Amino acid sequence: MQLDHDLQSVQEMRGAVERAKEAQLKYMTFSQEQVDEIVQKAAAAAYAKSLQLAQMAVKETGMGIVEHKKIKNEVGSMAVYESIKDEKTVGIIREDRVSKVTEVAYPYGIIAGIIPTTNPTSTAIFKALIALKTRNAIVVSPHPRAVKCTVEALKICSEAAVQAGAPEGLIGWISQPSMGATNELMKHRDVNLILATGGGGLVRAAYSSGKPAYGVGPGNVPCYIEKTAKVAKSVSMIIDSKSFDNGTICATEQSIVVDRNIKEMTMREMRNNGAYLLNNEEKARLEKVISPAPGKLNPDIVGQYARKIAEMAGIAVPESTRVLVAEETRVGKDIPFSIEKLSPIFALYTAESYQEAKEICLKLLNLGGRGHSLSLHTNDEEVAKDFALEMPVSRLMVNTLSSIGAVGATTGLMPSLTLGCGSFGGNITSDNVTARHLINIKRLAYGIKEVSIPKPSPSSFLTEKEDTGKQDVDHIVDQVLQQISPTGEVDAKMIAEMVDQVMQKYQTN
């Protein structure tokens, strides 16, 4: 029964959180040297199993390419390890002797990790490593279509960590995931931070859970080939990037925008690199496969080979076909080629001017990829700087493969499988999320400036009420004096009445 599965899933989650809490309290006492040894052993173990995990992921999910998933596992393990191994995450991490400020790191506690079906093993390894590096515990909710491979990746990291001295339970998971258990995990009283990678609904749920959360938005990456680009080299990289793991990385190029005067050369190079250019009839048939309903992506095409997707639309393509391309002029939710497709399918836009190219890129980003990434091929540094200043994205990859460049494989960006989209995309950070995002910092600050605090003047002690009362009494006394006769004689009865007024005034105030 479905009810039984849900109950088992929730109970398993609660048990994992309980064990994680106990383990994390012990892990809090570990030194930087102990933590670094544990992280190194876990990363090495995951790296050694990169191929096996890639095979499991492709078999279970039916998405992607084994050789490419192996590369992603290597990035998620050893590349991530190399990028964080020298970071201080325990105790005093920085001392400014001039300003006399000392910074001390402390962990969040228990992290809820949400893993996508498109990059299940690499993301699981990555999140486990950055949690270990920061003395946090992590409990993972895998995608239901990628449970076995995700749990296996976590087991490899966990076993290696325990053998290196880590407390058991520091890395936990739900082996029977359900939406109910995932939602309860994110709201669990003992969970301190959410690290969510997945669909828009899950990310929104993470941000609305009432917990601190790192979530990532969708990518609808435009790729602009500007007229100064080395077209042959650029197109070769773009096709390699788009076909990498069959387009499952969220930073993969989704649409190409090309200047009119290099369009024919670009299309020729596309054909030379395994692109199949659809005619109008084929384009119409493929549109129905991409998006059966306006704005909705067909999950059956995600991470599939171009040939298989073409077959789904009844289109015969050569065996050598790596990507499918159709010319497009419009952008919108009801325009299937313009949305994020997570598969080796391209829309091709022609720009009559540089300004129009920017406008097309902006429209594509506004459709669904604001804050994420943009790919640019140009030899004009001013163009690159202009795009950096104007485009609402968090990372711009220039003259490289956008898919793996965004995660740090071909660029100097921080290796990461969780790419923040900043305020443009409704995220808390625009960074490639890594270990430094999983620690809090407390600061010890000594006084270094002498400040003279001025003493208040005596008149400052007179309250507004007292001051008003004094003015009223003075007015009454003036009236008394005015009643004194020119000869100096005083009307005793009048004076008595006036004094009585003064007394009543003080008594009421």
pLDDT in tens, 296-335: 999 999 999 999 999 999 999 999 999 999 999 999 999 9
Same domain, 210 and 323: no
- Identify whether residues 38 and 163 lie together within a single domain: yes
For residue 397, the cross-strand partners are: 375
Domain count across the chain: 3
Q: Residue 481 is part of which domain span? A: 463-508
pLDDT of residue 393: 97
Least confident residue range of 122-131, 203-212, 363-372: 203-212
Q: Which residue has the higher pLDDT, 219 or 505?
A: 219
Q: What is the pLDDT of residue 215?
A: 84
Residues 6+ apart with CB under 8 A from 320: 274
- Whether 292 maps to a domain, the answer reads yes
Rounded CA gap, 398 and 474, in Å? 81
Q: What is the CATH number of the domain that holds 119?
A: 3.40.605.10
Residue pair 131/83 in contact by the 8 Å Cβ criterion = no
- 287, part of any domain: yes
Token pair of 416 as six digits: 């990461």
The span from the CA of 329 to the CA of 337, in Å, is 10
Amino acid at 313: A
Residue 59, CA distances (Å) to 64, 76, 412, 463 in order: 9, 20, 32, 81
85: CB partners within 8 A, 6+ apart: 36, 39, 40
pLDDT band, very low/low/confident/very high, at 468 (cuts 50, 70, 90)? low
Cα–Cα dist 419/427, whole Å: 10
Rounded Cα–Cα distance for residues 320 and 309 (Å): 14
- CATH number at 357 reads 3.40.309.10
Regarding whether 237 and 189 lie in a shared domain, the answer is no
**Is residue 295 one of the residues assigned to a domain?**
yes
236 falls within a domain: yes
Predicted confidence band at 457 (pLDDT cuts at 50, 70, 90)?
confident
Residues 332 and 367: beta-carbon distance below 8 Å: yes
Indicate whether 20 and 129 sit together in one domain. yes
pLDDT of residue 50: 98
8 A C-beta contact, residue 174 and residue 13: yes
Q: How many whole angstroms separate alpha carbon 490 and alpha carbon 480? A: 9
The pLDDT tens digits for 18-45 are 999 999 999 999 999 999 999 999 999 9
How confident is residue 201, by pLDDT bands cut at 50, 70 and 90?
confident
Residue 89 has pLDDT above 70, yes or no: yes
For residue 346, the surrounding DSSP H or E stretch is strand 345-351
Measured CA to CA, the distance from residue 346 to residue 217 in angstroms comes to 20
Is residue 485 predicted with pLDDT exceeding 60?
Answer: no
Domain membership flag for residue 458 = no
pLDDT above 80 (res 495): no
In this structure, are 383 and 285 located in the same domain?
Answer: yes
- Run of H or E including 498: helix 492-508
Looking at 62-109, which runs of residues are DSSP E strands? Answer: 91-96, 101-107
Q: Which residue out of 149, 250, 361, 421 is catalytically annotated?
A: 250
pLDDT band with cut points at 50, 70 and 90 for residue 502: low
pLDDT at 2 over 80: no
What's the full length of the chain, in residues? 509
User: Which band of pLDDT confidence, cut at 50, 70 and 90, is reported for residue 478?
Assistant: low
So what's the pLDDT on residue 462?
56
The angle at the Cα of 257, spanning 255 to 259, to the nearest 5 degrees, equals 165
Task: Identify the CA nearest to 26 among candidates 93, 107, 129, 112.
Answer: 107
Chain centroid offset of residue 26 CA: 29
Asked if 302 and 342 touch (Cβ cutoff 8 Å), the reply is yes
Verify that 185 and 283 share a domain, yes or no. Answer: no
Q: What stretches of 129-216 adopt beta strand conformation (E)?
A: 137-141, 171-173, 193-196, 213-215
- Which amino acid, residue 191? V
CA distance 163 to 477: 93
Other C-beta atoms lying within 10 Å of the C-beta of residue 306 = 26
Which residues fall within 8 angstroms of residue 3, CB to CB, at 6 or more apart? none
Residue 470 has pLDDT above 60, yes or no: no
Buried b / exposed e along 117-146 (16+ C-beta atoms within 10 A): bbbbbbbbbbbbbbbbbbbbbbbbbbbebb
Residue type, 159: E
User: What percentage of the chain has pLDDT greater than the value 70?
Assistant: 89
Active site residue 250: yes
Same structural domain, 346 and 371: yes
Residue written as tokens 């999140």?
127
H helices present in 62-146, as ranges: 66-74, 80-84, 120-133
Give the residue, 209 or 171, on which the prediction is more confident.
171
Average pLDDT value for residue range 418-425:
92
Residue 74 lies in a domain: yes
Residues 64 and 207 reside in one and the same domain: yes
Residues 71 and 209 in one domain: yes
Give backbone dihedrals phi and psi of 85, rounded to 5 degrees, phi first. Answer: -60, -30
Residues 52 and 50: their CA atoms lie apart, in Å, by 6
My answer on whether 286 and 399 are in the same domain is yes
Q: Is residue 202 over pLDDT 90?
A: no
Nearest partner of 358 among 221, 224, 218, judged by Cα: 224
Contact call for residues 338 and 352 (beta carbons, < 8 A): no
Sign of the C-alpha dihedral computed for residues 251, 257, 261 and 267 taken in this order = positive
Residues 81 and 56 placed together within one structural domain of the fold: yes
Same domain, yes or no: 196 and 290: no
> Are the C-beta atoms of 89 and 435 separated by less than 8 Å?
yes
By three-state DSSP, how is residue 354 classified? helix
Is the dihedral angle over the CA atoms 48, 54, 57, 60 positive or is it negative?
negative
Does residue 428 fall inside a structural domain? no
